[in-house]
Chains A and B, each alone.
Chain A
Amino acid sequence: MINPTEIKKDFPILNRQKNGKPLCYLDNAATTQKPRQVIEAITHFYETSNANIHRGIYDISEEATKMYEETRTTVQKFINAASPTEIIFTRNTTESINLIAYTWGEKYIQKGDEIIISILEHHSNLIPWQVLAKKKGAILKFIPIKKTLTLDLEKYKELLSKKTKLVSITGMSNALGTINPIKEITKEAKKFGAHVFIDAAQISAHQKIDVQKINCDFLAFSSHKMIGPTGVGILYAKQSILKKIPPFLYGGSMMTSVTLEETEFAKPPQKFEAGTPSIAEVVAFKSAIDYLEKLGFENIQKHEKELYKYAIQELSKIPNINLITPPEDKSGPVITFTIKDIHPHDIAEVLNSENIAIRAGKHCTDPLHKLLNLMATARLSFYIYNDKTDIDRTVKALKKCIKIFT
């Protein structure tokens, strides 16, 4: 079982005080805080092994290369990919999605082809496909949501056809917390021979992922949303696909031989990792995965569910609050809401005065907010170090907010 009081001690930033109150961090869907173990891994790398990778014939370079590649193997096992060569390090989930749009998309999407995404998508899983579709004369289609704020899977099945070349779906909505049935969605897409991209930026922090069980072709997530450093994105792609697609960026490290006229590209994953990557951050990402696996994803989920239930129960008592949440069993640890006649920015500002960090705005999901007829919303998102005290403080601050504005 998870003990958030003990976990809090591992996260130095949570000691940060404002007017004698410690930081209550509830914006985990944006980014997570980092434990001492991850921070120390970065420091340790720079103090003992810093060198560029895949080139130096000297101890520290070989050591740095080994550590960098160890994270690749750790990630492979973490998501149960068939081979470490299916793991590509990028800067973030956005770059991972763009990598596939610019390589696989450029090569295989043709005029009249159809790409299906959902209305729940973060802009990063919308804009790359929108731009690609415009460029190619392809058609972008959207899975709608039901009143329950979950995907309408019947409508999804109706959208699928032989024209469908790609289905790109988030595992969990960053705006509403809705968890999507990615395995089922993939299975349906495969009936029509479509490729499937899973945006796992949110879900990877909360659920164990098994790419072989899901049977998706591509999956992307970011280290920073799961207590790892910023600057590290992961792209998983099936080996058979990686062999067929062109490089994304050109330059150092991604080739085997170069003349003034021609370049022979390296094999995946190096082919897709041009230039010096975020070496220290990739190395430290292993410590983040180790930390989460030690806690265990079953325990993480149990803790989040318990906290979610408590938060919903307490928030529901606030007058004039409008909770914009899917059914409990289909939601991750995200609670989005509005309060009548108080702008979400003002809510966030009052909470900030109590040293509580939440998100206010449209959460990079403008079309979803437009559909729901919401100018903006406030969002709480929890993680392993949050506890009931954090919820109690938030509820108290929301009551203060209502007092100020009414």
Chain B
Amino acid sequence: MDLYSEIILDHYKNPHNKGNLKNPTCKANENNPQCGDTLAIELIIEKNKVKEVAFTGAGCAISQAATSMLTDHLKGKNITQIKNIKPEDIYKMLGIEISPGRTKCALLGLSTTQKAISNYKNAKK
């Protein structure tokens, strides 16, 4: 299967939800030291559900496309649903086979999102 499918390239070239939010409820940063990718995710959570989401950062096509797709998926989801997103769900969204060397790229968006959610929960405590 072609790694750089049309859908991945489309998300990479025209990422969804890229930018910053005004007054986000929670946020998190992550980076991938191996390849230098950086990612920041911001969320607005209302009534336990994601109302808005945005991301900034730079990286490879896989990490950027995966994050773009994930942010679409996050909207309207509740916190438990987000916590339960598995790596397999991301691979399914991407629709390609991810080699061991690229799993970090594919999962950077997910790990950053889940970090933002834990930040939110910790802040509420």
Contacts and interface: CB of A to CB of B under 8 A. Distances in A.
A220 B60 CA distance: 35
B9 interface: yes
B61 A361 contact: no
Contacts of B4: 346, 349-350, 404-405
B34 interface: yes
Nearest to A376: B36
Interface string A341-381: 00111100110010000001110001001000011100000
Interface in B50-99: 58-62
B37 interface: yes
B6 to A, nearest CB: 10
B3 A375 contact: no
B45 interface: no
Max chain B Cβ within 10 angstroms of own Cβ: one of A343, A362, A369, A376: A343
Contacts of A344: 35, 60
A363 to B, nearest CB: 11
Contacts of B102: 345, 349
A405 B60 contact: no
Contact of B105 (A345, A350, A353, A375): A345
B108 to A, nearest CB: 12
A353 B12 CA distance: 19
Q: Chain A contact residues (Cβ within 8 angstroms of B): what range?
A: 10 to 19
A345 B60 contact: yes
Contact of A346 (B36, B38, B60): B60
Contact of B37 (A374, A375, A404, A405): A375
A405 B3 contact: no
B61 A375 contact: no
Contacts of A405: 4, 9, 12-13, 61
B36 A375 contact: yes
A19 to B, nearest CB: 12
A356 to B, nearest CB: 15
A369 to B, nearest CB: 7
B35 A360 contact: yes
A405 B102 CA distance: 18
A374 B35 CA distance: 11
Contacts of B62: 345-346
Contacts of A369: 36
Contact of B36 (A349, A350, A362): A362
A343 B59 contact: yes
A284 to B, nearest CB: 29
Interface in B9-63: 9, 12-13, 33-38, 58-62
Contacts of A374: 36
A348 to B, nearest CB: 9
B3 A376 contact: no
Given A361-B36, A369-B36, A375 B9 contact: no
B104 to A, nearest CB: 10
B4 to A, nearest CB: 5
Nearest to A342: B61
Contacts of B58: 343, 375
Interface string A391-406: 0000000000000110
A405 B36 CA distance: 19
Max chain A Cβ within 10 angstroms of own Cβ: one of B4, B36, B37, B38: B36
Max chain B Cβ within 10 angstroms of own Cβ: one of A345, A349, A361: A345
Contacts of B9: 404-405
Contacts of B61: 343, 346, 405
Contacts of A361: 34-36
Nearest to A362: B36
Contacts of A360: 35
Nearest to A401: B4
Nearest to B59: A343
A189 B71 CA distance: 56
Contacts of B37: 343, 375
A345 B3 contact: no
A349 B102 CA distance: 10
Given A343-B58, A344-B35, A349-B60, 16 more contacts: A343-B35, A343-B60, A345-B35, A345-B60, A345-B62, A345-B102, A360-B35, A361-B36, A362-B36, A375-B36, A375-B37, A375-B58, A405-B9, A405-B12, A405-B13, A405-B61
Interface of B: 3-4, 9, 12-13, 33-38, 58-62, 102, 105
13 contacts: A343-B35, A343-B59, A344-B35, A345-B35, A345-B102, A346-B4, A350-B4, A353-B3, A360-B35, A375-B38, A375-B59, A405-B9, A405-B61
Report, nearest first, the 5 A-B pairs whose CB atoms are least far apart: A343-B60, A375-B36, A345-B60, A376-B36, A346-B61
